[in-house]
């Protein structure tokens, strides 16, 4: 009798361990699948944002890029900078080919209602300046602080592709982006760098919060498989105890 009880207990123990291992393996696979799905969603969203970056005032570049930028036929690139509103001069210069720019206030953009073509009325448009080697140039000042915008577009009705290098200088100008433009003054680069670091820290905190909310944090991973395996482990331990008792009684 004790021998049969011992054999049955060993069989129950082995079955419990097998089911528990399968449950844990399923939990791990489910967690990896969830993480992979969330990562793919994040990559798709980031790629979409990068593709739309600079295409309209709402996604305008908030820093100047280093080096020459290419423009496809009919393409427009938007930039946004902060201005102190102290009536200090702003000087904008564009060098390149088949490219020009215009300057916009927030009110100008609202009044345009999406029509940023030749019939729109921005606060300023660039023109060739012989003092700067024929580069496109504009200078002006404002008495109100806030965001101001630059739209770079191809010339000749957008029929041909172009390229350009953009510079914006002025004591009242600052940028919110992490990357300071090579054409800014030293003081403006310092302000841009500090602002960029703050934006980066905020972005890191938001990213961490978003990961936790999205279920990537370890404490939020699904535990269904582990919970279902717990009774099996308890049953296996009980079966082992019965087997040990049966073995000891048989020895007596």
In CATH, what number is assigned to the domain containing residue 157? 2.60.120.380
Q: Which residues pair with 104 in a beta bridge?
A: 149
Sign of CA dihedral 230, 213, 206, 55: positive
The pLDDT value given to residue 52: 72
Whether 158 and 233 share a structural domain: no
The pLDDT value given to residue 14: 73
Which helix (DSSP H) or strand (DSSP E) does residue 79 occupy? strand 76-83
DSSP 57: G
Query: What total number of domains does the chain contain?
Result: 2
Whether 97 and 139 share a structural domain: yes
Whether 162 and 245 share a structural domain: no
Cα–Cα distances in angstroms (integers) from residue 11 to residues 7, 14, 67, 104, in the given order: 6, 5, 73, 80
In a domain, 28, yes or no: no
**52, exposed or middle or buried, with CB in 10 Å at 0-12, 13-18, 19+?**
exposed
The pLDDT value given to residue 156: 80
In a domain, 207, yes or no: no
Structural domain of 248: 1-23+222-252
The pLDDT value given to residue 248: 55
User: Which stretches within the chain are classed as H helix?
Assistant: 2-52, 106-112, 186-214, 224-251
In a domain, 190, yes or no: yes
Whether 184 and 246 share a structural domain: no
This prediction's pTM: 0.55
Residues of the chain whose pLDDT is less than 70?
1-9, 12-13, 16-51, 178-252
In a domain, 167, yes or no: yes
DSSP 218: G
Whether 230 and 161 share a structural domain: no
Give per-residue burial for 11-33: e unless 16+ CB within 10 Å, then b. ebbeebbebbeebeeebeeebee
- Give the Cβ contact number of residue 138 at 10 Å: 20
The pLDDT value given to residue 220: 36
């Amino acid at each position: 009798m004790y021998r049969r009880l011992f054999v049955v207990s060993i069989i129950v123990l082995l079955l419990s361990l097998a089911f528990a291992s399968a449950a844990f393996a399923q939990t791990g696979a489910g967690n990896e699948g969830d993480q992979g799905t969330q990562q793919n969603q994040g990559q798709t969203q980031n790629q979409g944002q990068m593709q739309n970056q600079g295409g309209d005032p709402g996604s305008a570049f908030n820093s100047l890029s280093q080096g020459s930028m290419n423009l496809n036929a009919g393409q427009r690139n938007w930039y946004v900078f902060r201005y102190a509103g102290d009536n200090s001069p702003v000087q904008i210069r564009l060098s390149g080919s088949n490219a020009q720019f215009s300057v916009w206030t927030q009110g100008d953009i609202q009044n345009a209602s999406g029509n940023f073509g030749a019939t729109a009325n921005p606060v300023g448009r660039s023109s060739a300046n012989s003092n700067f080697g024929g580069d496109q140039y504009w200078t002006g000042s404002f008495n109100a602080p806030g965001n101001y915008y630059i739209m770079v577009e191809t010339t000749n009705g957008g029929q041909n592709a172009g390229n350009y290098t953009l510079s914006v200088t002025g004591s009242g100008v600052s940028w919110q982006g992490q990357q300071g433009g090579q054409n800014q003054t030293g003081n403006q680069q310092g302000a841009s760098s500090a602002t960029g670091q703050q934006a980066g820290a905020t972005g890191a905190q938001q990213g961490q919060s978003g990961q936790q909310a999205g279920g990537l944090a370890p404490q939020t991973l699904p535990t269904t498989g582990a919970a279902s395996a717990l009774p099996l482990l308890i049953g296996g331990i009980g079966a082992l105890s019965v087997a040990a008792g049966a073995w000891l009684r048989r020895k007596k």
